[in-house]
Structure 1
Amino acid sequence: MTAGQEEREDDRLHVSPGPYDPATAVEPDRDIPSYTDPVARDFSTALGGPVGAHALVGFQRFFTPLRLILLVAVLFLALGWTTKAGCLQQKSENGELVLDWSGSRPYVSMCYSDTVPLYSAERLNEGLMPYKTQFTDTDATGAPQERYMEYPVLTGMYQYASMRIAKAWTYLHEQWGVPAAIEVVLFFTVSALGLAMFWLLAIWATTRSSGAGRRPWDVMIMAASPLVIVHAFTNFDAIAVAATAVGMLLWARRRPGWAGVVLGLGTAAKLYPVFILVVLLFLCLRAGRLRPWVTASAAAAAAWLAVNLPVAVMWPQGWWEFFHRNSIRAVDMDSIYAVVSSFTGGWVFGGEGPRGGASPLANGITFVLFLFVIAGVAYLALKAPRRPRVAQLAFLIVAGFLLVNKVWSPQYSLWLVPLAVLAIPHTRILLAWMTIDALVWVPRMMYFLGMQNKGLPEQAFTVTVLLRDIAVIGLCALVIRQIYRPEEDLVRSTFPGPYSPPLDDPAGGVLDGAPDSESLPGPLRSRSAQRGRYQTNTASSAARPHTPIQTPH
């Protein structure tokens, strides 16, 4: 190659193939966290600063936001595994391997998980079919009682399936010599792997729902949540969390029938997914779109019956155990009632200790207060100046249920994580709440350890519960504020641009962009709806024109 040819080749390599076009550099309406999120902006400084103005955003073939978020989720799930590993230690006793929980290991190591004691407490170690076999246990006073599996059917059958896999692995060990451990460790391992898959499914669905795909990075705080490290494997709640997230995604995709099916299955695992249908009822009533809600509700009822009816018919007493146990369950030490009792020096609901005793008064107060929560959500849905987003009301009703319920098991906080991400995607605020909530686990374990073992006193624990409740109430207040000031809602104000109106509800499905119904009675309509306000300012997120993002230089 001659000198002239080399010079021309060098010029060709350094000349842009064409003028810069922002439409080809940035995917329309994609959120850029390193510019819009303070936490991401500060973190990006360690990696070279915010994304460049000429970067190709949204066109990656492999390292997509979803795959990176799932990768981070796997890392945090692995950390969650390590927090429980201390309770899987084994020791030899009389020539047999047994679980080593000596020296109050679950509390000192803070590795406690319900999964381990439930293996024997629910008689899974005996290979019994849940709901079919009655067994004798003792109540809080030490008196014998006859009982069955106390979990909802789908969760109970998940435990049964995990037990059968663990026993099958033990059989392979005995027959073929494959490596194995004691059965309860195998049971925990199988259960945890399944729960990890459910959590990843919830992250996938939440990412797809987040701003209709325009704000995928919001879900990073769900993947990297401190609550995942502490509670991903504390119990089986990831099943219902995944069902709720997928059900909301299907609703956002305008598939109310399938959304109902998944929410019905979630309700067969835990009660709270049915609250999403309550929220949708109020919003569909305001929009005059009741047919999709009826379709979703009918499908949910059919799915729930398909799971529960066979068990209820074959073993009615065992099936009823879940409802019976909840009605007689004492006030939980993580509830606001135990906090009040702790600081007033008396147990409001009878009994002794932070859990109090089983009391009709506790059930009645919880029920009445939750009715007030539902009424408040209904008021916001119908009377707010602009129709709230589905995720906003879903977060409020689930958070309200937890705050007024007599039981708030620590892993229940996982219920709020995907709803909070969709409702209020403020990373710093959510990270602060999740950290406070996760740290409640430390004084809880130290309180269980007992003062005689250098544990913490009761009020050292209840103070942290109160701080967690205050944090959740603060989140609820922020959601309500943004309902009444939609211009402060990050999801609705995502890149409106000069030629496109603000978003309505990207996860609203048939509600997205729908005007308020004029057939509602006057007392049920908001004043803004009566004046026609927001009717022309609301556009469907799917149909509105796209404007390329002009990233700053």
Structure 2
Amino acid sequence: MSTQPSTDRPDVPSATSDGFVRGLSQIIGGPLGSHATRPDARPNRFWTAPRMILALTCLMLALSWVQKSPCMSGDWQKNVQYTRFCYTDVLALYYAEGLSEGQVPYVDHQVEYPVVTGYFMGALGLPVHWYGTTQNTSINQGSWFYNINALVLSLLAVATAAVLLILRRRRPWDAAIFALSPILLVTATVNWDFLAIGLAAIGLLLWVRRRPIWAGVFLGLGGAAKLWPLFIIGPLFVLALRTGKIRPWGLTALATVITTVVVNFPVWYWHHEAWLRFFRLNSTRPIDWGTLWYVGRYLDGKWNSGSPGDQGPFQWLSDHIPTLNALSYALVGLACAFLLGLGLLAPKPPRLAQLAFLVVAFFLIFSKVWSQQYVLWLLPLIVLARPKWGAIIAWTVAEIGYFTAFYAELIGAGGRPVIPEGTFVLASSLRLITVAVLCGLVIREIWRPELDVVRQTYDGNDPDAGRLEGPDAGWVQQLRRSLGYVKSEPADVEPESPVVVKI
């Protein structure tokens, strides 16, 4: 049963669905009353909810730029990049990837990123090098490169916030979870992840606007920047199976594949070894900081500390990377199979955002690499999947705790221990646990759709379904009925004729 009329009138979190916000509102007098004048009801009001969200996003990104400012000079003495928490790959890789010497990505230097990220680096880095060497030799090229990248990435972050607002017109305050997130503050420009996030967000918007081909184009571009936007094709496939509408999914998948092939082809054909570097690096790189495998290896060391000749399973996997790769892929595959079953058997088709969040989260949980900025992949997806502040704040606290412990660990790697290794492992474990808890809560709301606040606002429907709206396909109904998830209704029985008794 919907708790919101079928209009685009904005939801007020304190008055409706969010228990955390409702409790917090007691500080200022309690939830909005039924007779109160709603902010959205005032005519000609400038500071509407969407404008406030966009302004807050810009403010947070400006603060992020200030937070990274101690590192802009590139003079990273005495671990300033870690003690001030301002490290950014954008500045470091300007020099490491040869851009400071005018080297063209993939042509003169084998870049370790997918091609759209490499194109982006070259498109911004080579003009900075040219200007610095031919027009103005006094500029700090690295600082200019970072600032231009920060500006473009910030614009993509604002575009992502705008997409969240468009996708949730009736729930604009959900986007405040994104705009006010400390995660945005500390990781927005650590790497080029907002390039993929912005493209994927536009792809989702185009899908909702029922333009499957253009949605596939932007998902393909996003996937050629960082691989994770390609994962969204999987949730779309599950929903296409559930509703029996394969054609829209097929158009999007085909457009995604074609776009990915087209943008990769020049590097693949003319600079094949450079194109392979990304894949070779990821197949051979060891267990990364803070992953499930890292935590397991630490526990192996603790449990087997008294038996020098013994190796635990995680330590063994650390020494056999091909086997670890296969196990990691297998676990992600099993998780996807679970999502397929969940998507087909749930009482209602899961929302697209719920499945998208779960598949990306499962990939990160089982991956051997979980860089600090990957948290940005989950942030807009959890806003769309489960916009409840309480659990998201707990997850954010764990992420910021991990961020702090990670930088302390990096300082310790230079020979100056800052925190015990066990403290870093604890922070890593809390991050893993909170992400797993979010997954559990999303799965719970898929299985019990009456708990889903987004469905409550949108009359029980999925606002992101696009062309995949509609009832279950016939074979899905039969499958659910055969497994006992739908009770067979008794056949219609003709009512008995009334007995007439003559007196």
TM-score (norm 1): 0.80
In the alignment of these two chains, the number of paired residues is 472
Q: Which stretch of the first structure deviates more once superposed, 199-208 or 55-64?
A: 55-64
Q: Residues 77 and 172 of structure 1: is their aligned pair in 2 closer, same or farther, counting only changes over 3 Å?
A: farther
Structure 1 residue aligned with 2:142? 184
CA contact (8 A) 1:349 1:358 kept: no
TM-superposed deviation, 1:520:
4.6
1:482 is the counterpart of 2:436: no
1:507 is the counterpart of 2:471: no
1:279 is the counterpart of 2:235: yes
Structure 1 residue aligned with 2:50? 66
CA contact (8 A) 1:448 1:455 kept: no
CA contact (8 A) 1:329 1:358 kept: no
CA RMSD in angstroms, aligned pairs only:
2.6
1:194 is the counterpart of 2:178: no
TM-superposed deviation, 1:45:
6.3
Structure 2 residue aligned with 1:87? 71
SS in 2 for 1:35: coil
Structure 1 residue aligned with 2:333? 371
In the alignment, the residues of structure 2 paired with residue 46 and residue 220 of structure 1 have an alpha-carbon distance, to the nearest angstrom, of 19
TM-superposed deviation, 1:83:
2.1
In the alignment, the residues of structure 2 paired with residue 172 and residue 318 of structure 1 have an alpha-carbon distance, to the nearest angstrom, of 28
Any idea what the Cα deviations from partners look like across 1:183-215, whole Å, max 9, x if unmatched? Answer: 1111111111111011111111122112xx111
1:102 is the counterpart of 2:82: no
1:393 is the counterpart of 2:355: yes
In the alignment, the residues of structure 2 paired with residue 406 and residue 525 of structure 1 have an alpha-carbon distance, to the nearest angstrom, of 40
Structure 2 residue aligned with 1:126? 101
1:420 is the counterpart of 2:377: no
Structure 2 residue aligned with 1:57? 40
1:403 is the counterpart of 2:385: no
CA contact (8 A) 2:318 2:324 kept: no
TM-superposed deviation, 1:53:
2.3
Q: Residues 78 and 47 of structure 1: is their aligned pair in 2 closer, same or farther, counting only changes over 3 Å?
A: farther
1:34 is the counterpart of 2:14: yes
SS in 1 for 2:62: helix
Q: Which stretch of the first structure deviates more once superposed, 39-48 or 296-305?
A: 39-48
Structure 1 residue aligned with 2:492? none
TM-superposed deviation, 1:30:
2.3
Any idea what the Cα deviations from partners look like across 1:18-69, whole Å, max 9, x if unmatched? Answer: xxxxx9xx97542012313345446656777655623352655532222211
CA contact (8 A) 1:386 1:528 kept: no
SS in 2 for 1:34: coil
Structure 2 residue aligned with 1:470? 433
Alignment map for 1:310-389 (pairs within 5 Å)? 310-345=266-301, 348=313, 356=318, 359-389=321-351
Q: Residues 526 and 507 of structure 1: is their aligned pair in 2 closer, same or farther, counting only changes over 3 Å?
A: farther
SS in 2 for 1:394: helix
In the alignment, the residues of structure 2 paired with residue 35 and residue 132 of structure 1 have an alpha-carbon distance, to the nearest angstrom, of 57
Determine which of 258, 283, 299 is the counterpart of 1:302.
258
Any idea what the Cα deviations from partners look like across 1:273-307, whole Å, max 9, x if unmatched? Answer: 11110110011011011000001011111211221
In the alignment, the residues of structure 1 paired with residue 281 and residue 257 of structure 2 have an alpha-carbon distance, to the nearest angstrom, of 23
CA contact (8 A) 1:119 1:125 kept: yes
Structure 2 residue aligned with 1:292? 248
In the alignment, the residues of structure 1 paired with residue 204 and residue 81 of structure 2 have an alpha-carbon distance, to the nearest angstrom, of 36
SS in 1 for 2:434: helix
Alignment map for 1:242-257 (pairs within 5 Å)? 242-257=198-213
Greater share of residues in helix: 2
In the alignment, the residues of structure 1 paired with residue 328 and residue 481 of structure 2 have an alpha-carbon distance, to the nearest angstrom, of 29
Q: Residues 282 and 361 of structure 1: is their aligned pair in 2 closer, same or farther, counting only changes over 3 Å?
A: same
In the alignment, the residues of structure 2 paired with residue 45 and residue 487 of structure 1 have an alpha-carbon distance, to the nearest angstrom, of 26
Q: Which letter does structure 2 place at the counterpart of 1:206?
A: L
Q: Residues 418 and 408 of structure 1: is their aligned pair in 2 closer, same or farther, counting only changes over 3 Å?
A: same
In the alignment, the residues of structure 1 paired with residue 141 and residue 482 of structure 2 have an alpha-carbon distance, to the nearest angstrom, of 59
Q: Residues 172 and 193 of structure 1: is their aligned pair in 2 closer, same or farther, counting only changes over 3 Å?
A: farther
In the alignment, the residues of structure 1 paired with residue 45 and residue 146 of structure 2 have an alpha-carbon distance, to the nearest angstrom, of 37
In the alignment, the residues of structure 1 paired with residue 279 and residue 406 of structure 2 have an alpha-carbon distance, to the nearest angstrom, of 27
Q: Which letter does structure 2 place at the counterpart of 1:86?
A: P
Any idea what the Cα deviations from partners look like across 1:329-378, whole Å, max 9, x if unmatched? Answer: 11111210000101220675669xxx955711111111111111110111
Q: Which letter does structure 1 place at the counterpart of 2:86?
A: C
1:164 is the counterpart of 2:98: no
1:445 is the counterpart of 2:445: no
Any idea what the Cα deviations from partners look like across 1:135-176, whole Å, max 9, x if unmatched? Answer: xxxxxxxxxxxxx1110000111111121232244257528x
Q: Residues 50 and 27 of structure 1: is their aligned pair in 2 closer, same or farther, counting only changes over 3 Å?
A: farther
CA contact (8 A) 1:122 1:149 kept: yes
Q: Which letter does structure 1 place at the counterpart of 2:15?
A: Y
CA contact (8 A) 1:286 1:525 kept: no
Q: Which letter does structure 2 place at the counterpart of 1:383?
A: L
Structure 2 residue aligned with 1:214? 170
SS in 1 for 2:87: coil
In the alignment, the residues of structure 2 paired with residue 122 and residue 444 of structure 1 have an alpha-carbon distance, to the nearest angstrom, of 24
Structure 2 residue aligned with 1:461? 424
TM-superposed deviation, 1:128:
1.0
SS in 1 for 2:88: coil
Q: Residues 510 and 71 of structure 1: is their aligned pair in 2 closer, same or farther, counting only changes over 3 Å?
A: same
In the alignment, the residues of structure 2 paired with residue 126 and residue 253 of structure 1 have an alpha-carbon distance, to the nearest angstrom, of 44
- How much identity, in percent, do the aligned residues show? 38
In the alignment, the residues of structure 2 paired with residue 109 and residue 525 of structure 1 have an alpha-carbon distance, to the nearest angstrom, of 59
CA contact (8 A) 2:300 2:315 kept: no
Structure 2 residue aligned with 1:6? none
In the alignment, the residues of structure 1 paired with residue 260 and residue 325 of structure 2 have an alpha-carbon distance, to the nearest angstrom, of 24
Determine which of 204, 219, 223 is the counterpart of 1:267.
223
Q: Which letter does structure 2 place at the counterpart of 1:214?
A: R
Unaligned runs of 5+ in 2: 302-310, 490-503
SS in 2 for 1:133: coil
Q: Which letter does structure 2 place at the counterpart of 1:478?
A: L
TM-superposed deviation, 1:458:
1.9
TM-superposed deviation, 1:125:
1.1
CA contact (8 A) 2:40 2:48 kept: no
